[in-house]
């Protein structure tokens, strides 16, 4: 190659480089965000999703997108997280939509409804049944965009100071339980109480409340509730597979480069899997320790389950008759859950049932 041709080619290369570099920088901007979690740092499995998400975001962007995670109360409290995200006080947060059902019962449908889908079914509905699209269509009214990021699996029914065998035993029971489950139980004579997690133990100890639900063995063990309310009931029919979400201020989300949005989707999906895996791995040993320490496992009676199931469906019909947003999501959820069981009862249920019976026989 002649010297003049070489210099000409090199010049073109420099020109291309001078144009490309700003484009690369623009697609990988330096961003600093704050994330407010609705969960305290002491709940390592729930709060851990925020930490895991922030770490993976940083690693995938070579540190150009940094997210600092704050626990509940450090910026705003648990029940103020959604508004802080919506109004731009923070760019994003990790929370459960049903904490905000005071705004609209549709928020409960996004997280978990009594007798709703289990964790596996909910994930399938979210990603393959149009669930994420339906939820974001609704949340968009509040300037929020959400991605599923964690599921506890089916929760426990809570800690009781006395045995609950019949519907009549629920009369006058002061029960720390919130949301639509509280409305349902109230129809059976329960007196629902909303109490922060840190106040549950002293309230049970003093007899201010008679029972309290939390999450499941791993998280419940930390509260020490078995010492003052030994009867540990199951299942938590009000949370068969509750989903937590990473929620973004929609304007901030839309400003992100497409590459960063894709990275966030992948990091959230990792958190979605990680949380359930942690609970499934840690709950068995925690349950064994609780029983050894005096917890007495009890199933809710068929009478109580049937009564609550009937009242749940009546409540959903009532809400649906006057709330089209709730109806749209609930109709989709219910249809997906029912169709899903056509398959799950054939293979999964029988497979699990056989192994559970075999384990019992040694």
Same domain for 111 and 197, yes or no, is no
Number of domains in the chain: 2
On the question of pLDDT at 316 being above 50, the answer is yes
Same domain for 308 and 187, yes or no, is yes
On the question of pLDDT at 196 being above 90, the answer is no
Residue 98's pLDDT band (cuts 50, 70, 90): very high
Same domain for 215 and 274, yes or no, is no
Backbone phi, then psi, for 168, in 5-degree steps?
-60, -30
Same domain for 204 and 59, yes or no, is no
Domain extent, residue 198, equals: 155-238+294-324
Cα dihedral sign for 134, 80, 37, 43? Answer: negative
Decide if 23 is inside a domain.
no
Q: Which helix (H) or strand (E) holds 212?
A: strand 211-212
Residue 68 β-bridge partners: 34
pLDDT tens digits, one per residue of 326-358: 999 999 999 999 999 999 999 999 999 999 999
Q: Mean pLDDT across the stretch 120-124?
A: 97
Of 33, 46, 102, the C-alpha closest to 72 is: 46
Residue 195's pLDDT band (cuts 50, 70, 90): confident
On the question of pLDDT at 102 being above 60, the answer is yes
Decide if 40 is inside a domain.
yes
Q: Mean pLDDT across the stretch 85-102?
A: 96
Lowest mean pLDDT among 11-20, 124-133, 173-182, 266-275: 11-20
Per-residue tokens: 16: 């291309």
Decide if 349 is inside a domain.
no
Same domain for 200 and 299, yes or no, is yes
Same domain for 82 and 141, yes or no, is yes
Q: Which helix (H) or strand (E) holds 126?
A: helix 119-128
SS3 label, residue 144:
strand
pLDDT at 25: 52
Q: How far apart are CA 217 and CA 212, in angstroms?
A: 13
Same domain for 230 and 117, yes or no, is no
Q: How far apart are CA 213 and CA 185, in angstroms?
A: 13
Mean pLDDT of the chain: 92
Decide if 337 is inside a domain.
no
pLDDT at 198: 75
Residue 158 β-bridge partners: 233
Query: For the chain, first and last CA: distance in Å?
Result: 81
CATH number at residue 185: 3.40.190.10
pLDDT at 69: 98
CATH number at residue 101: 3.40.190.170
On the question of pLDDT at 18 being above 50, the answer is no
| Whole-number percent of the chain with pLDDT over 90 | 88
Residue 314's pLDDT band (cuts 50, 70, 90): very high
pLDDT at 204: 94
Asked if residue 108 lies in contact with residue 97, where contact means CB atoms within 8 angstroms, the answer is yes
On the question of pLDDT at 150 being above 50, the answer is yes
Of 31, 163, 146, the C-alpha closest to 85 is: 146
Decide if 358 is inside a domain.
no
Cα distances from 74 to residues 84, 90, 93, in angstroms, run: 12, 12, 12
Same domain for 74 and 214, yes or no, is no
Decide if 314 is inside a domain.
yes
Same domain for 137 and 48, yes or no, is yes
Decide if 345 is inside a domain.
no
Same domain for 150 and 169, yes or no, is no
pLDDT tens digits, one per residue of 35-81: 999 999 999 999 999 999 999 999 999 999 999 999 999 999 999 99
pLDDT at 26: 62
Same domain for 150 and 189, yes or no, is no
- pTM for this predicted structure: 0.89
Decide if 355 is inside a domain.
no
Q: How far apart are CA 298 and CA 162, in angstroms?
A: 11
Per-residue tokens: 130: 């149009």
pLDDT at 16: 40
Cα distances from 35 to residues 22, 42, 54, 95, 346, in angstroms, run: 29, 17, 9, 10, 42
Asked if residue 154 lies in contact with residue 239, where contact means CB atoms within 8 angstroms, the answer is yes
On the question of pLDDT at 6 being above 60, the answer is no
On the question of pLDDT at 253 being above 70, the answer is yes
On the question of pLDDT at 4 being above 60, the answer is no
Domain limit, last residue, from 225, 258, 281? 281
Same domain for 90 and 203, yes or no, is no
């Amino acid at each position: 190659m002649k010297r003049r041709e070489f210099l000409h080619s090199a010049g073109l290369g420099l020109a291309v480089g001078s144009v490309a570099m700003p484009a690369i920088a623009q697609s990988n901007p330096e961003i600093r965000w704050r994330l407010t979690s609705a969960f305290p740092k002491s709940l390592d499995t729930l709060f851990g999703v925020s930490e895991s998400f922030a770490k993976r975001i940083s690693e995938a962007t070579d540190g150009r997108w940094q997210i600092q995670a704050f626990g509940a109360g450090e910026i705003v409290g648990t029940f103020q997280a959604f508004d802080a995200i919506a109004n731009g006080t923070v760019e994003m947060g990790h929370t459960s939509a049903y904490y905000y059902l005071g705004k609209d019962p549709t928020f409960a449908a996004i997280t978990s409804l009594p007798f709703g889908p289990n964790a596996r079914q909910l994930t399938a509905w979210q990603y393959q049944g149009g669930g994420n699209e339906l939820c974001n269509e609704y949340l968009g009214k509040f300037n929020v965009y959400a991605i599923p990021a964690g599921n506890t699996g089916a929760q426990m029914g809570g800690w009781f100071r006395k045995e609950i065998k019949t519907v009549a035993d629920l009369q006058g029971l002061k029960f720390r339980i919130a949301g639509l489950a509280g409305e349902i139980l109230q129809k059976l004579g329960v007196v629902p109480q909303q109490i922060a997690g840190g106040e549950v133990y002293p309230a049970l100890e003093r007899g201010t409340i008679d029972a309290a639900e939390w999450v499941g063995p791993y998280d419940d063990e930390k509260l020490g509730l078995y010492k003052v309310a030994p009867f540990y009931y199951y299942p938590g029919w009000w949370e068969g597979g509750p989903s937590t979400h990473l929620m973004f201020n929609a304007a901030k989300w839309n400003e992100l480069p497409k590459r960063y949005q894709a990275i966030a989707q992948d990091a959230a999906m990792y958190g979605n899997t990680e949380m359930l895996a942690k609970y499934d791995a840690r709950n068995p040993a925690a349950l064994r320790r609780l029983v050894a320490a005096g917890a007495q496992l009890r199933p809710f009676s068929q009478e109580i389950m049937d009564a609550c199931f009937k009242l749940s469906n009546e409540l959903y019909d009532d809400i649906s008759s006057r709330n089209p947003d709730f109806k749209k999501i609930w109709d989709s959820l219910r249809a997906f859950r029912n169709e899903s069981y056509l398959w799950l009862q054939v293979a999964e249920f029988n497979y699990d049932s056989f192994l559970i019976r075999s384990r019992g026989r040694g």
